[in-house]
Amino acid sequence: MSKVDIGKKMLSENDRLAAENRVRFAEAGLLVLNLISSPGSGKTALLESTLDRLPDGVRVLVIEGDVSTDRDIERVRAHGADGVQINTAGGCHLSAKMVGKVLPDLNLDGADVLFVENVGNLICPSTYDLGEDAKVVLLSTTEGDDKPMKYPAIFHESSVAVINKIDLLPHLTYDIERAEREIGVLNADCDILRVSALKGTGMDEWIAWILRKMKEKRGE
Amino acid sequence: MHELSICQSMLEIVDGAMADHPGARLERVFVDVGRGSTVEPSLLRDAFEIATTGGPYEGAELVINEIPLVGKCRSCGRSFEYKEIALGCPDCESTSVEIESGLELNVRELEIDG
Ligand SMILES: Nc1nc2c(ncn2[C@@H]2O[C@H](COP(=O)(O)OP(=O)(O)OP(=O)(O)O)[C@@H](O)[C@H]2O)c(=O)[nH]1
Ligand SMILES: [Mg+2]
Ligand SMILES: [Zn+2]
C-alpha cells in the first residue's frame, strides 16, 4: 500500500479552460458577467430591461444557458442583443468548456459586454468559473429573506447581489435589511442593489454599475 | 445535482495520477469537501459508486473529509461556525466577517496497491 500525493482542486480542469476563455475576453477588451439565480428570479427580465436602458453604442452579447429551450435567447434578441443559446441537455450549470465551444459563434471584437445567463440554479453554477470578470447573483423578494445563509457559496463568490422584484415588497413579509445583512457577512465586498426589472426601479444604479465595470475593464 | 459531473472531474484527476503507476490498483481516494462548497457528501459518494462500478476502480473507497464552514470576525478575531455568525459576530456584533474555511473541493491523495 502506498500513498500518492495529489493536492488538486476537483475542478482544476474547468479552471484551466476558464483561464483560456479569460484570455480571449481580455484580448477583446470585453466585460463578462455571469448571471446566477434560482429559476424564475428574473435573470432574463433583468437582461431585457438592461438592453432597453444601456446607452446607444454599447454593443451587447448574450449567452443563454438553459436545460432545453431557446425561449430566453429569443426574448433577449427581441431587445436587440446578439447571442447564442447553450442547451445543457439536463445539466444544471454551464461549464467553461461549454462557453469556450460557442465563442467562435460570437463576434467578440468590438463588443463591450457579454452577459452569460446561467441555468436557473443557486447551487451548482457557483463552483464553475466560466472566465467571467464578475458573478452577479440575483435573488427575488418572493424567494424569502433567508437565502444568503442557505446558499453561502454563491454570495461569497459574487461581486454584486441584485435583489429583484422589489415592486412586490408591499405584499410580502420579506425583510430586505436582513437579507442584505446576511450577504454583507458572507462577503463584505459584495455590492448590493435593489431593483424591479419589471417596473424599472433601481435600474439606473444597475446600469451605472455595469458602465463602471466596463471602464475598469478597459483600464480607464 | 452536479455531484455526477464533479465526480467525473475527480476521476479524470485520478486517471492522470494512476497513469504514472501502471498495474497498480486504486484502494482509496481522499478528498476535502467544505460544508459551504455546494457538494453534498452523500450524493458524491453515490456518484462515485455509480461511476466506478464495472471499471478499473471498482471497489475503491471514497474517503470524504468534511470541513465545517467557519467565519472569522475581523474586529475581535474570533472564529465561529457560520450559522452562529450569519447575522454578525455573536461576541462583538461586528458584521465584518471573512470565511476561513468550508469552501474546499480538493482531491488530497490516493492510496494504491502495487
Ligand atoms: N413583479 C415582478 N415580476 C418580475 C420581475 N422580474 C421578473 N418578473 C417575473 O418573474 C418571472 C420569471 O422571470 P424570468 O426573467 O423568466 O426569470 P429567469 O430567472 O430568467 O428564469 P429561468 O431562466 O427559467 O431560470 C416572469 O414571469 C417575470 O415577468 C419584477 O421585477 N417584478
Ligand atoms: Mg431566464
Ligand atoms: Zn467579533
Domain boundaries, chain A: 6-217
**Minimal CA–CA distance to B70: which of A136, A189, A160, A156?**
A156
Among the listed ranges A68-72, A125-129, A204-208, B59-63, which one has the minimum average pLDDT value? A68-72
The answer to whether B58 faces chain A, any CB pair under 8 Å, is no
Q: Which of A185, A190, A192 to mutate to test the interface with B (most CBs of B within 10 A)?
A: A185
Res A207: pLDDT: 98
Res B96: pLDDT: 87
- B28 to chain A nearest CA, in Å? 9
Strand-pairing partners, residue A9, are: B106
Instruction: Say yes or no: CB of residue A42 within 6 Å of ligand 1.
Output: yes
**pLDDT above 70 as % of chain B:** 99
Of B98, B108, B111, the CB nearest to A7: B108
Residues 6 or more apart whose Cβ sits within 8 Å of residue A157: A126, A135, A137, A187
Res B23 pLDDT > 90: yes
Predicted TM-score (pTM) of the model is 0.93
CA dihedral B85, B88, B94, B99 (to 10 degrees): 50
Q: What phi and psi, each to the nearest 5 degrees, are found at residue A13?
A: -70, -40
Task: Give the position of cell 458572507.
Answer: A186
Distances in Å between the Cα of A46 and the Cα atoms of A2, A5, A105, A212 are 54, 46, 24, 18
Q: How many CA atoms lie within 13 A of A134 on its CB side?
A: 22
> Of ligand 1's atoms, which has the minimum distance to the CA of residue A120?
25
Other C-beta atoms closer than 10 Å to the C-beta of A158 total: 24
Res B97: pLDDT: 86
CATH code of the region A6-217: 3.40.50.300
The answer to whether B57 faces chain A, any CB pair under 8 Å, is no
The CATH number of domain B3-68+102-113 is 3.40.50.1100 = no
CA nearest ligand 1 atom 6, residue: A42
Chain B 11-30, residues with CB within 8 Å of chain A CB atoms: 12-13, 17, 20-21, 27
Res B38: pLDDT: 87
Res A68: pLDDT: 85
Res A29 pLDDT > 90: yes
**Contact between A185 and B95 using a beta-carbon 8 Å cutoff:** yes
Residue range A178-194: mean pLDDT, rounded: 93
Task: Give the position of cell 452523500.
Answer: B42
- Looking only at the bridges linking them, the beta strands covering B61-67 and A191-194 are unpaired
- B88 to chain A nearest CA, in Å? 6
Res B84: pLDDT: 86
CA distance B72 to A206: 31
With contacts defined as CB-CB under 8 Å, which chain B residues touch A65? none
**Minimal CA–CA distance to A186: which of A142, A144, A154?**
A154
Res B48 pLDDT > 90: yes
Res B1: pLDDT: 63
